[in-house]
Amino acid sequence: MIATEILAKGVERGIITAEQAERLHALENAGEPPELPVSPDDEQLRFISGFSDIFVTIGLALFIGAVGYFALSSNGPVGMWIAVAVTAWLLSEFFTRLRRMALPSIVLLIVFAWAAFAASAVFLGADAGLYSRPLVAWGLFRLGGFEPAILASAAFLTCC
């Protein structure tokens, strides 16, 4: 809304005419509802807010890959997946709560879920003797006679 004093100064300086100032006053008093300000509770949801989201996601993939590599060489497969899950959780706390970045948050969610599933599957013994199976239907998927039950148990532990 333009103040009356500003319109009067505009008329004095010759920027607008007195008729234009009167028309602006009439437009202001026409009774059209003004635009409501955006509520602080309304969330501006964007999947990618800029190209920085993509760079951050690539950097997260490199960092989590390095964490997994070093954890695998020092702690073995179960330790690696636990380290990846913990790292993904801690990074998601920062990128979701503080930075409000959607793409890195979604990627970190997927990494955490996969790492939790893989850690429980490896802990329950799903990777034991992968190459000792004969070539049968289950062997094509590297599954033995009891591994589907192990994977189902790992999925159940992941969800709980």
Give the global pTM.
0.58
pLDDT over threshold 50, residue 77 = yes
Confidence of residue 47 (pLDDT cuts 50, 70, 90): confident
pLDDT for 136 equals 43
> What SS3 string covers the chain?
CCCHHHHHHHHHCCCCCHHHHHHHHHHHCCCCCCCCCCCCCCCCCCCCCCHHHHHHHHHHHHHHHHHHHHHHHHHHHHHHHHHHHHHHHHHHHHHHHHCCCHHHHHHHHHHHHHHHHHHHHHHCCCCCCCCCCCCCHHHHCCCCCCHHHHHHHHHHHHHC
